[in-house]
A and B are shown apart, each in its own frame.
Chain A
Amino acid sequence: MWTWQHVLTTIFGGIIFPLVIGLVWGKLADEYKSFGGVLAGFFIVGTIWLLNHGIGLMYEPQMSGGLPGPWSDMALAAFWGLFVADLMEGKKIDWEPVLSGLLGGVLGGLLLFAMV
C-alpha cells in the first residue's frame, strides 16, 4: 500500500537521478572524454541505483505477488528530467531520436519477453 512516506521517497528518487546526471555527466565527458562515461556509469548510475532500487527509494508495490511487474525503472526519470529541462529552455522535440528510443524499447522488450 502507498503511504505518504512512499510518495515522498519516490518523488525524491525521481528528482535526484536526472539532476545528478544533468549536473555531472556532461562535465565528466568534457574532461575525460569516453573515460568520463565510464566514471559516470559507476559513480552516477551505480550509486544512485543503490539508493533508488537497491535500498528502494522508489516504491514499486506491483513487484510483490504472484505475477510481479511491470517494472518501472528509474531510467524513466533520467529520460524525462533531461528532456523537460531542454523543452523549458525552448528546444523543440526532435522525432528522430524519440522514435529511435521508443522502437529500441519495443525491440528490447520483445527480446526480454522471448528469453525464459
Chain B
Amino acid sequence: MNLRRILMGMCTGAFVGFGVFTIWPSSLARWNWLGGWLAAGIIITTGWLVNHYAGSIPNKGGGAWVDMALSVWLSALLGGTVVLDPVKGLVRGAYGILHGANLGGALMTIFLQLVGATLAGYLLYAARRSDV
C-alpha cells in the first residue's frame, strides 16, 4: 500500500468522475445526441490519458484491472449530475445519494448492469483463453 499513489489516483479519479457528469450532460443539452457522442471523446479520452495511459491509478500487472469507470460510476451515484444549460445556465440534472436520493430506485438497474457485465467478463475470459 503506497498512500501517495492512492492519493494521486483519488485526485485523478475524482477529476474524471466530476468531468464526466458536468461536461457530458452539458454537451448533451447543447448539441443533442451528437453532443453526447462528442462528450465521450472529450472527457473519457482525457481521463484515460491521465488515469491509465500515464498510469495515475496504480494498476500493476499481477492484479485484476481496476478501471477509472469505478470512480465515474460512484461519482454520479453519490453526487448526481450538473448541467450547463444553454438557456437556464448551471442547473442540477440528477440528485445523488448525498442529496438523499433513494438508492432503492437504482438497485434493479445496478443489478442488471452487473449481470450483463459478468456475462461479458466471462466471454472476455473465454476469448483470451482460446487465443493462446
Contact = CB atoms under 8 A, between A and B. Distances in A.
Interface of A: 2, 7, 10-19, 22-23, 29, 33-34, 37-38, 40-42, 45-47, 49-50, 53-54, 58-63, 67-89, 91-116
A47 B97 CA distance: 28
Contacts of A86: 63-65
Contacts of B106: 60, 62, 69-72
Interface string B84-126: 0000001111111111111101101110111111111111110
B72 A81 contact: no
Contacts of A93: 63-64
A115 B74 CA distance: 16
Contact of A14 (B71, B97, B116): B116
Given A69-B95, A111-B79, 16 more contacts: A11-B116, A15-B117, A18-B117, A37-B53, A45-B41, A46-B36, A49-B40, A50-B33, A73-B77, A85-B121, A91-B64, A100-B10, A100-B13, A103-B9, A107-B14, A116-B92
Chain A interface main SS type: helix
A49 B74 CA distance: 17
Contacts of A62: 101-102, 105-106, 109
A105 B97 contact: no
Interface of B: 1-2, 5-6, 8-18, 20-22, 33, 36-42, 44-45, 48-49, 52-53, 57-60, 62-82, 90-103, 105-106, 108-110, 112-125, 127-129
Contacts of B113: 10, 13-14, 58, 72, 74, 76-77, 80
Given A12-B116, A14-B115, A14-B120, A112 B18 contact: yes
A8 to B, nearest CB: 9
Contact of A113 (B2, B8, B36, B79): B79
